[in-house]
Protein backbone atom coordinates (compact mmCIF):
# COMPACT_ATOMS: atom_id res chain seq x y z
CA UNK A 1 0.00 0.00 0.00
CA UNK A 2 1.44 3.34 -0.98
CA UNK A 3 1.39 6.45 1.17
CA UNK A 4 -1.45 8.13 -0.74
CA UNK A 5 -3.76 5.07 -0.29
CA UNK A 6 -2.90 4.88 3.41
CA UNK A 7 -3.72 8.56 3.89
CA UNK A 8 -6.98 8.19 1.99
CA UNK A 9 -8.19 5.19 4.06
CA UNK A 10 -7.13 6.78 7.35
CA UNK A 11 -8.89 10.05 6.61
CA UNK A 12 -12.00 8.15 5.43
CA UNK A 13 -12.26 6.15 8.66
CA UNK A 14 -11.55 9.09 10.94
CA UNK A 15 -14.13 11.17 9.10
CA UNK A 16 -16.93 8.57 8.94
CA UNK A 17 -16.70 7.54 12.63
CA UNK A 18 -17.89 10.94 13.93
CA UNK A 19 -20.76 10.78 11.45
CA UNK A 20 -21.69 7.37 12.86
CA UNK A 21 -21.72 8.85 16.38
CA UNK A 22 -24.08 11.62 15.29
CA UNK A 23 -26.44 9.10 13.63
CA UNK A 24 -26.38 6.89 16.71
CA UNK A 25 -27.11 9.83 19.00
CA UNK A 26 -30.03 10.84 16.82
CA UNK A 27 -31.45 7.29 16.59
CA UNK A 28 -30.90 6.11 20.18
CA UNK A 29 -31.00 9.38 22.10
CA UNK A 30 -33.51 7.95 24.62
CA UNK A 31 -31.40 4.91 25.53
CA UNK A 32 -28.07 6.40 26.53
CA UNK A 33 -25.86 4.33 28.86
CA UNK A 34 -22.48 4.74 30.49
CA UNK A 35 -21.05 2.52 27.76
CA UNK A 36 -22.62 4.76 25.15
CA UNK A 37 -20.96 7.82 26.66
CA UNK A 38 -17.59 6.07 26.73
CA UNK A 39 -17.95 5.16 23.07
CA UNK A 40 -18.93 8.72 22.27
CA UNK A 41 -15.87 10.07 24.06
CA UNK A 42 -13.66 7.57 22.22
CA UNK A 43 -15.11 8.57 18.86
CA UNK A 44 -14.64 12.26 19.63
CA UNK A 45 -11.01 11.51 20.48
CA UNK A 46 -10.66 9.78 17.09
CA UNK A 47 -12.22 12.86 15.51
CA UNK A 48 -9.59 15.09 17.10
CA UNK A 49 -6.83 12.72 16.00
CA UNK A 50 -8.31 12.69 12.50
CA UNK A 51 -8.31 16.47 12.35
CA UNK A 52 -4.69 16.53 13.50
CA UNK A 53 -3.75 13.86 10.94
CA UNK A 54 -5.51 15.78 8.20
CA UNK A 55 -3.51 18.89 9.12
CA UNK A 56 -0.24 16.94 9.10
CA UNK A 57 -1.04 15.31 5.76
CA UNK A 58 -1.97 18.69 4.30
CA UNK A 59 1.32 20.12 5.53
CA UNK A 60 3.24 17.22 4.00
CA UNK A 61 1.39 17.68 0.71
CA UNK A 62 2.22 21.39 0.81
CA UNK A 63 5.91 20.60 1.36
CA UNK A 64 5.81 18.15 -1.55
CA UNK A 65 4.15 20.78 -3.74
CA UNK A 66 6.79 23.36 -2.79
CA UNK A 67 9.51 20.81 -3.55
CA UNK A 68 7.89 20.12 -6.90
CA UNK A 69 7.69 23.84 -7.69
CA UNK A 70 11.33 24.35 -6.69
CA UNK A 71 12.34 21.43 -8.89
CA UNK A 72 10.31 22.84 -11.76
CA UNK A 73 11.92 26.27 -11.32
CA UNK A 74 15.36 24.66 -11.29
CA UNK A 75 14.51 22.81 -14.49
CA UNK A 76 13.27 26.05 -16.10
CA UNK A 77 16.49 27.83 -15.08
CA UNK A 78 18.60 25.00 -16.52
CA UNK A 79 16.60 25.10 -19.75
CA UNK A 80 17.00 28.88 -19.96
CA UNK A 81 20.75 28.55 -19.39
CA UNK A 82 21.00 25.89 -22.08
CA UNK A 83 18.98 28.02 -24.51
CA UNK A 84 21.13 31.09 -23.78
CA UNK A 85 24.24 29.02 -24.41
CA UNK A 86 22.92 27.75 -27.75
CA UNK A 87 22.04 31.27 -28.83
CA UNK A 88 25.49 32.55 -27.89
CA UNK A 89 27.32 29.77 -29.73
CA UNK A 90 25.51 30.93 -32.87
CA UNK A 91 26.14 34.61 -32.09
CA UNK A 92 29.87 34.21 -31.44
CA UNK A 93 30.57 33.35 -35.08
CA UNK A 94 28.67 36.34 -36.47
CA UNK A 95 30.54 39.48 -37.60
CA UNK A 96 31.61 41.84 -34.82
CA UNK A 97 29.52 44.93 -35.53
CA UNK A 98 30.08 47.08 -32.46
CA UNK A 99 31.71 47.29 -29.06
CA UNK A 100 31.46 49.58 -26.07
CA UNK A 101 32.64 50.22 -22.53
CA UNK A 102 29.94 51.03 -19.97
CA UNK A 103 30.64 52.60 -16.58
CA UNK A 104 27.73 52.45 -14.14
CA UNK A 105 28.03 55.20 -11.53
CA UNK A 106 27.13 55.02 -7.84
CA UNK A 107 24.54 57.81 -8.17
CA UNK A 108 23.56 60.64 -10.45
CA UNK A 109 26.45 63.02 -11.09
CA UNK A 110 26.49 66.42 -12.72
CA UNK A 111 29.30 67.63 -15.00
CA UNK A 112 30.53 69.89 -12.19
CA UNK A 113 30.78 66.90 -9.85
CA UNK A 114 32.65 64.65 -12.29
CA UNK A 115 34.80 67.26 -13.98
CA UNK A 116 37.37 65.93 -16.44
CA UNK A 117 37.37 62.17 -16.87
CA UNK A 118 38.80 59.51 -19.18
CA UNK A 119 38.42 55.75 -19.38
CA UNK A 120 39.87 53.09 -21.66
CA UNK A 121 39.54 49.39 -22.44
CA UNK A 122 42.60 47.77 -23.99
CA UNK A 123 42.19 44.39 -25.74
CA UNK A 124 45.41 42.66 -26.84
CA UNK A 125 46.03 39.44 -28.69
CA UNK A 126 49.22 38.30 -26.99
CA UNK A 127 49.21 35.05 -28.94
CA UNK A 128 50.43 36.91 -32.02
CA UNK A 129 53.91 38.35 -32.41
CA UNK A 130 54.67 42.00 -31.66
CA UNK A 131 53.15 44.38 -32.67
CA UNK A 132 50.26 42.53 -31.03
CA UNK A 133 46.87 42.95 -32.72
CA UNK A 134 45.11 45.33 -30.34
CA UNK A 135 41.90 47.31 -29.95
CA UNK A 136 41.28 50.33 -27.74
CA UNK A 137 37.83 51.67 -26.80
CA UNK A 138 38.00 54.91 -24.84
CA UNK A 139 35.88 57.84 -23.73
CA UNK A 140 36.30 61.27 -22.22
CA UNK A 141 34.18 64.19 -21.11
CA UNK A 142 32.70 66.35 -23.89
CA UNK A 143 30.26 68.61 -22.09
CA UNK A 144 27.93 70.94 -23.95
CA UNK A 145 27.60 74.48 -22.63
CA UNK A 146 24.15 76.01 -22.71
CA UNK A 147 22.84 79.34 -21.51
CA UNK A 148 19.44 80.35 -20.15
CA UNK A 149 18.49 83.79 -18.85
CA UNK A 150 22.13 84.77 -18.88
CA UNK A 151 23.21 81.74 -16.80
CA UNK A 152 25.56 79.18 -18.36
CA UNK A 153 25.39 75.48 -17.46
CA UNK A 154 26.83 72.22 -18.77
CA UNK A 155 25.06 69.18 -20.15
CA UNK A 156 26.52 65.71 -20.42
CA UNK A 157 28.37 64.50 -23.45
CA UNK A 158 31.00 61.81 -24.03
CA UNK A 159 33.56 61.59 -26.79
CA UNK A 160 34.09 58.05 -28.08
CA UNK A 161 37.53 57.16 -29.40
CA UNK A 162 38.22 53.74 -30.93
CA UNK A 163 41.45 52.75 -32.68
CA UNK A 164 43.50 49.64 -33.36
CA UNK A 165 46.99 48.34 -33.96
CA UNK A 166 47.86 45.70 -36.56
CA UNK A 167 45.96 46.88 -38.52
CA UNK A 168 46.55 50.52 -37.61
CA UNK A 169 43.17 52.23 -37.92
CA UNK A 170 41.32 55.19 -36.47
CA UNK A 171 37.87 53.66 -36.14
CA UNK A 172 35.73 56.11 -34.17
CA UNK A 173 35.98 59.74 -33.08
CA UNK A 174 32.49 60.92 -32.21
CA UNK A 175 30.84 63.08 -29.55
CA UNK A 176 27.56 61.77 -28.20
CA UNK A 177 25.53 64.40 -26.35
CA UNK A 178 22.85 63.36 -23.89
CA UNK A 179 21.26 66.73 -23.22
CA UNK A 180 21.13 65.76 -19.53
CA UNK A 181 22.22 67.77 -16.50
CA UNK A 182 23.09 64.58 -14.58
CA UNK A 183 23.74 60.94 -15.40
CA UNK A 184 24.21 57.54 -13.76
CA UNK A 185 26.17 56.03 -16.66
CA UNK A 186 29.09 56.79 -18.92
CA UNK A 187 29.74 54.84 -22.10
CA UNK A 188 31.87 54.95 -25.21
CA UNK A 189 32.09 52.70 -28.24
CA UNK A 190 32.17 52.41 -31.97
CA UNK A 191 31.24 50.51 -35.11
CA UNK A 192 33.65 47.63 -35.64
CA UNK A 193 32.23 45.88 -38.69
CA UNK A 194 35.19 44.85 -40.85
CA UNK A 195 37.40 47.18 -38.81
CA UNK A 196 40.26 46.41 -36.44
CA UNK A 197 41.92 43.05 -35.71
CA UNK A 198 38.87 41.17 -34.36
CA UNK A 199 36.24 40.14 -36.89
CA UNK A 200 33.84 38.09 -34.73
CA UNK A 201 32.92 37.86 -31.06
CA UNK A 202 34.74 34.55 -31.00
CA UNK A 203 37.95 36.35 -31.97
CA UNK A 204 37.80 38.17 -28.61
CA UNK A 205 37.98 35.00 -26.54
CA UNK A 206 41.03 34.59 -24.30
CA UNK A 207 42.33 38.05 -25.21
CA UNK A 208 44.11 40.19 -22.63
CA UNK A 209 41.69 42.86 -21.32
CA UNK A 210 42.84 45.84 -19.26
CA UNK A 211 40.65 48.65 -17.93
CA UNK A 212 41.91 52.13 -17.04
CA UNK A 213 40.06 55.13 -15.57
CA UNK A 214 41.19 58.48 -14.29
CA UNK A 215 41.74 58.50 -10.53
CA UNK A 216 38.94 60.93 -9.50
CA UNK A 217 36.45 58.94 -11.59
CA UNK A 218 37.40 55.61 -10.00
CA UNK A 219 35.70 56.38 -6.68
CA UNK A 220 32.39 57.16 -8.42
CA UNK A 221 32.10 53.85 -10.32
CA UNK A 222 29.70 51.07 -9.28
CA UNK A 223 30.53 48.71 -12.16
CA UNK A 224 32.44 48.40 -15.45
CA UNK A 225 31.29 46.30 -18.43
CA UNK A 226 32.58 45.52 -21.92
CA UNK A 227 30.01 44.76 -24.61
CA UNK A 228 30.14 43.36 -28.13
CA UNK A 229 27.09 43.19 -30.39
CA UNK A 230 25.00 44.21 -27.35
CA UNK A 231 26.28 41.24 -25.34
CA UNK A 232 28.05 41.81 -22.02
CA UNK A 233 31.23 39.82 -22.59
CA UNK A 234 33.13 40.93 -19.48
CA UNK A 235 32.76 43.14 -16.43
CA UNK A 236 32.45 43.34 -12.67
CA UNK A 237 30.99 45.39 -9.84
CA UNK A 238 33.13 47.79 -7.82
CA UNK A 239 33.19 45.55 -4.73
CA UNK A 240 35.53 43.25 -6.68
CA UNK A 241 37.96 46.02 -7.80
CA UNK A 242 41.56 46.50 -6.75
CA UNK A 243 43.07 49.79 -8.04
CA UNK A 244 46.69 50.08 -9.16
CA UNK A 245 48.57 53.28 -9.93
CA UNK A 246 49.38 52.33 -13.52
CA UNK A 247 48.92 54.08 -16.86
CA UNK A 248 47.88 52.49 -20.18
CA UNK A 249 50.54 51.13 -22.51
CA UNK A 250 49.66 53.77 -25.09
CA UNK A 251 49.26 57.52 -24.99
CA UNK A 252 45.89 59.21 -25.23
CA UNK A 253 45.20 59.54 -28.98
CA UNK A 254 44.41 63.27 -28.85
CA UNK A 255 46.11 66.29 -27.29
CA UNK A 256 45.22 67.08 -23.68
CA UNK A 257 45.48 70.32 -21.79
CA UNK A 258 48.15 70.51 -19.12
CA UNK A 259 45.57 70.16 -16.35
CA UNK A 260 43.96 67.15 -18.06
CA UNK A 261 47.30 65.45 -18.65
CA UNK A 262 48.13 65.82 -14.95
CA UNK A 263 45.08 63.78 -13.90
CA UNK A 264 46.55 60.36 -13.02
CA UNK A 265 45.35 56.98 -14.26
CA UNK A 266 44.17 53.96 -12.29
CA UNK A 267 44.41 50.41 -13.64
CA UNK A 268 41.36 48.47 -12.46
CA UNK A 269 42.10 44.86 -11.51
CA UNK A 270 39.93 42.25 -9.80
CA UNK A 271 40.24 40.51 -6.45
CA UNK A 272 41.07 36.82 -6.35
CA UNK A 273 38.61 35.47 -3.82
CA UNK A 274 39.88 32.59 -1.66
CA UNK A 275 43.45 32.72 -3.04
CA UNK A 276 45.75 29.73 -2.47
CA UNK A 277 47.80 29.78 0.71
CA UNK A 278 51.09 30.35 -1.09
CA UNK A 279 49.85 33.60 -2.70
CA UNK A 280 50.89 36.88 -1.09
CA UNK A 281 47.60 38.66 -0.13
CA UNK A 282 48.73 41.92 -1.75
CA UNK A 283 49.13 40.03 -5.06
CA UNK A 284 45.73 38.31 -4.94
CA UNK A 285 44.44 40.11 -8.00
CA UNK A 286 43.88 39.42 -11.67
CA UNK A 287 42.83 41.19 -14.84
CA UNK A 288 39.38 41.19 -16.40
CA UNK A 289 38.63 38.01 -18.33
CA UNK A 290 37.17 37.27 -21.75
CA UNK A 291 36.69 33.53 -21.45
CA UNK A 292 33.49 32.16 -22.96
CA UNK A 293 34.24 28.63 -21.75
CA UNK A 294 33.65 29.83 -18.17
CA UNK A 295 30.46 31.84 -18.68
CA UNK A 296 27.78 32.73 -21.21
CA UNK A 297 27.55 36.44 -22.14
CA UNK A 298 24.16 38.04 -21.50
CA UNK A 299 22.38 40.46 -23.76
CA UNK A 300 22.06 44.03 -22.55
CA UNK A 301 18.76 44.64 -20.78
CA UNK A 302 18.24 40.98 -19.76
Cα separation, 294 vs 254, whole angstroms: 37
CA dihedral sign, ordered 32, 35, 39, 40: positive
DSSP state of 99: E
Average pLDDT for 171-197: 92
End-to-end, the C-alpha distance of the chain in Å comes to 49
- How high is the pLDDT of residue 223? 96
Residue ending a domain, choose from 74, 90, 106: 90
Both 121 and 259 in one domain: the answer is yes
Both 208 and 230 in one domain: the answer is yes
54-112 pLDDT, tens per residue? 555 555 555 554 555 455 455 556 677 788 888 888 888 999 999 999 999 999 999 99
Residue 15 structural domain: 3-90
Both 44 and 116 in one domain: the answer is no
131-177 pLDDT, tens per residue? 889 999 999 999 988 878 878 888 999 999 999 999 999 999 999 88
Residue ending a domain, choose from 72, 90, 108: 90
Residue ending a domain, choose from 46, 71, 90: 90
Average pLDDT for 8-35: 57
Exposed e or buried b per residue across 9-39, where buried means at least 16 C-beta atoms within 10 angstroms of its C-beta: eeeeebeeebeebeeeeeeeeeeeeeeeeee
Both 80 and 102 in one domain: the answer is no
| 140, 96 Cβ separation under 8 angstroms | no
Both 183 and 74 in one domain: the answer is no
Both 282 and 143 in one domain: the answer is yes
- Give the chain's domain count: 2
- How high is the pLDDT of residue 10? 60
Both 8 and 135 in one domain: the answer is no
| 230, 300 Cβ separation under 8 angstroms | yes
Average pLDDT for 9-35: 57
Both 120 and 81 in one domain: the answer is no
Amino acid sequence: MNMNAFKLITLFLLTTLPIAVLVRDWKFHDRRTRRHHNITRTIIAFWCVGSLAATVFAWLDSAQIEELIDGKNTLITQNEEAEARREFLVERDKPLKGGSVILVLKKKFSPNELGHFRFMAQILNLHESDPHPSLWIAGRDAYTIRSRNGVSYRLFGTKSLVWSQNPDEQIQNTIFGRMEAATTQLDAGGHLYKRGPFKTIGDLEDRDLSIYVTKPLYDQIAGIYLTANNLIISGAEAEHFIPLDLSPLVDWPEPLTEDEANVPWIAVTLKIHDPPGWMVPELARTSFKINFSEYTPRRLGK
